[in-house]
Amino acid sequence: AGRALWTGLMENPAGNPFGNAHGLGIKDSANTDLIFHRGQVLATWYLCGDPYAVDPLSLETLGAQDFLGTFAGDMMAHPKVDERTNELLWFDYGPDMNFLRYGIIGADGTQTHLAHVDLPGPRLPHDMAITPNYTVLMDLPLVQDQDARRAGKYRIFYDQSLVSRFAVIPRYGQNADVTWFEAKPCYIYHVVNSWEEGTKVIMDACRVKNPQHQTTFEHPLANMLAYMRLDAQLYRYEFDLATGQTTEYPLDDRNIEFPSMDQRIVGTRHRYSYSMSLAAEPTLLFDGIVRHDASTGEMETYKFGAGRWGSESPFAPRDGSKDDSDGYIVSFVNDEVEGKGEIVVLAAENVAAGPIARIKLPQYVPAGFHATWVRADQLA
């Protein structure tokens, strides 16, 4: 066209050619997360849209994935793949929806299940959790401003008068099968993992105590950057299906987010997770990697160094690995002192020891939040 067809993210969307399926007037940028399923990497969007398929070898865009014409909805930021069944589990939401749409893509690449889970009003959940038998969906008190919506605008706010609610639904369940659990108000961007123990579904997540817009830095872009800062702690929820009771407690008090783990065991008990340490800077920057031992509670940390910022760091298992620390942690690091970028590789069993390999790059890799690792056995 010779010109930009869409306005920028902070500009008025009124002149855009069309909106996404939820009528927001914003382009589906498929820029949030990446997940591997059935030979393709899927790029997702936090406001729910088409998952865009990418060739994992060439990185060529293959186009919007509709799962052989069976896909009945949009996909949120963080769908989950159960590698034991090769199922892809997802939900979507919207500014005018008083329900979550929850679905499953089967191993054959078609949608095999769809359910509507009732909500008291429009919500903005970001992540979900799975176990072999259950899925955990969230109704958190970050809500749509209905007055703004009626005026044709999109505004969210944190309603501290509401509790956090978690829907535990059987994997192939419907709305009537949901067991709801209540907890203290919060917001959750990212789940570490979930698993079953007896009558309990247990979920570890990074819990944000106050997701309100907060400007605490003097900076020309402080108002915008305030949305890009997090104060999150590793936290555990225990949902007892026998009693209906929630038990919740922190696992650590440091500011960490963007967790990763061995994707082969998602939905079953893990031991190790690897999260990003958040720097005390005006915007969201990662200054190190933290390994958490879910069995002992022990933490170990590697910091990138002054003026060095990393990226989300996925776990890459060694060939023939024995457990979820038998592998590598891989991160892009930008060095503002040297003006160069590099890839650092850490041994997952000894993160604190620092890189076992550094691959110098001729330039920065633009800062990003999410990443995924695709194994050779998956491609085979």
- The answer to whether 113 is a known ligand-binding residue is no
Cα separation, 33 vs 55, whole angstroms:
15
Phi, psi of 191 (to 5 degrees): -90, 140
| Burial letters 331-344, b for 16+ CB under 10 A, else e | bbbbbeeeeebbbb
Distance CA 14, CA 17 (A): 9
Q: pTM of the full predicted structure? A: 0.94
- Please give the angle made by the CA atoms of 311, 46 and 233, to the nearest 5 degrees: 55
pLDDT of the residue at 119 = 97
Residue 213 annotated as lining a ligand binding site = no
Known binding residue 219? Answer is no
Question: Which one, of 373, 359, 179, 369, lies nearest residue 284 by Cα?
Answer: 369
Annotated binding-site residue? 370: yes
DSSP code string of 209-225? S--S----S--TTHHHH
- Comparing CA positions, the residue from 344, 321, 347 lying closest to residue 331 is 344
The pLDDT of residue 358: 97
Phi first, then psi: what are they for 378, rounded to 5°? Answer: -70, -40
pLDDT < 50: residue spans in the chain: none
**Helices and strands in the chain, H and E counts:** 3, 27
Residue 194: per-residue pLDDT: 98
Identify the DSSP state of 227.
Answer: G
- Residues 139, 98: contact at Cβ < 8 Å? no
pLDDT at residue 215, as a whole number: 58
Whole-angstrom Cα distance, residue 380 to residue 376?
Answer: 6
Domains of the chain by residue range = 1-94
Residue type, 299: M
Q: Tens digit of pLDDT for each residue in 215-256? A: 566 666 666 666 667 889 999 999 999 999 999 999 999 999
DSSP three-state, residue 379: helix
